[in-house]
Chain A
């Protein structure tokens, strides 16, 4: 399996919900080169999840546009796939059926689907559970199935909306490393929305901080660390501290007092 990444270009993107008077975020400009893992960090309510939904084509921005390899995103596509906080697997299906469900919506032969599903399940190391019903799996295994379901589409861009926040610390750490390693191996882009500084440091090549109301990108930082990344590594810890202080500065300058519980 080999996937090419995509150039992401967000131009003057604003979002305002019709039911609310205030703007969620205002004039966001952002670019990301092919193959980059980008983390968007911010407090709850700054619009980072909404931004991700617009990138996925599940919501339209009020103003501005999103271009992927120069083509405007106007709706969802298997080329840019989103992983949600919960796996949202289809409980009447087995692991294999869940992984292959996206392919079954397209024009793939049974043999092609079988081959790609087998490969995706191997990538997330769930070969022994291929025929199991997904309800029989643990939370971490279910999130792996959701990852395989995204990977099998061979997306240019994988959008992650705090996908590991409901998992225990060990499973979360393992999946963070795995997703980054698979993305780097296959070459697709990642955009991960998180309020977990550790997650950004472990998974991203670059972190952008969203703050304020309406939200905007107030700072960005290269996460220039060698792989594999270990939380105990002094370089990782130093960068974590730097990102944390930058995050706090940005949040204070834009949004007033920072709720410390928002940052793990």
Chain B
């Protein structure tokens, strides 16, 4: 390699490292490494302390060993599948209710005035406090869990949609009407694109809440899902299985959130931010 090429190569590598995406990835890996390092150190001390030795499998190494084993047995996949179907069902119900009601709140001042107090009151009730009622009303545990997730996640979707609509320039409706838009056009061509950013932001918040509610909800009578797997591992004292499931929850939650952030960026028409 000539000297010039070598210098160019060094400059190219330096430029690549300075790329914002690479830098972001570097910071993310750095942050995660700190967590794993702290976990590894904690696990080491637990394993080497006679009074805590029986909890040694909570540590990083036993957990990392358990993940491929659980994966090979198909336990992680089946838990993900069961939890995802409940999460998806609950979120879909939340969107199906929250989106149209949010649009109604944004479009109709009367409805907004009428619904604001009762909705704010209901929103402040902890979703899990509906558990006895859910168990009483729904014939299956699955139904109860889906209900709890829907109750938890409907509010962010609804209020974000309403807030998004409140920000829509009223002149857009006038212009569209002037150009011959009918009600359906207003909804599909003006309202929905205008508020997609807010709706997706609401769904992102809803997903976070739903994910938090999902695990304790699965401590109920079900025999599948991530929450059940954690409960089962605790009862069989398989702490490395428990932490493996906790890691799985974190990874999937992170993946879902990242996907929504990408969708928000994709559909955002706002200049200078997401």
Contacts and interface: CB of A to CB of B under 8 A. Distances in A.
B172 A101 contact: no
B274 to A, nearest CB: 14
B171 A86 contact: yes
B51 interface: no
Chain A interface helix/strand/loop/mixed = loop
20 contacts: A58-B177, A58-B178, A76-B177, A77-B180, A78-B180, A84-B174, A84-B175, A86-B171, A91-B269, A92-B193, A92-B196, A93-B193, A101-B189, A104-B185, A104-B189, A105-B189, A106-B180, A133-B269, A135-B271, A153-B179
Instruction: Identify which of A78, A86, A90, A104 gathers the most chain B CB atoms within 10 Å of its CB.
Output: A90
B193 A82 contact: no
A92 B190 CA distance: 10
A58 B271 contact: no
For the complex of A and B, 7 pairs with smallest distance between CB atoms:
A102-B179, A92-B269, A88-B171, A78-B180, A105-B180, A92-B193, A105-B181
A37 interface: no
Interface in A57-76: 58, 76
B182 interface: yes
A88 B172 contact: yes
Instruction: Identify which of B179, B180, B193 gathers the most chain A CB atoms within 10 Å of its CB.
Output: B179
A84 B172 CA distance: 11
Contacts of B175: 84, 88
Contacts of B185: 104-105
Interface residues of A, number: 23
Nearest to A133: B269
A149 B179 contact: yes
A90 B169 CA distance: 10
A76 B189 contact: no
Nearest to A91: B269
A102 B178 CA distance: 9
A133 B271 CA distance: 11
Nearest to B194: A92
Given A90-B190, A91-B269, A135-B271, A84 B180 contact: no
Interface in B140-195: 169, 171-172, 174-182, 185, 189-190, 193-194
Interface in A82-120: 82, 84, 86, 88, 90-93, 101-102, 104-106
A101 B169 CA distance: 17
Contacts of A149: 179
A135 B269 CA distance: 9
Interface in B42-59: none
Interface string B92-106: 000000000000000
B197 to A, nearest CB: 9
B129 to A, nearest CB: 40
A253 B182 CA distance: 45
Contact of A76 (B180, B190, B196): B180
Contact of A105 (B179, B193, B271): B179
A147 interface: no
A168 to B, nearest CB: 22
A154 to B, nearest CB: 12
A131 to B, nearest CB: 15
Contact of B172 (A58, A77, A90, A153): A90
Nearest to A87: B175
B178 A76 contact: yes
Nearest to B270: A91
A58 B180 CA distance: 11
Contacts of B169: 88
Contacts of B181: 105
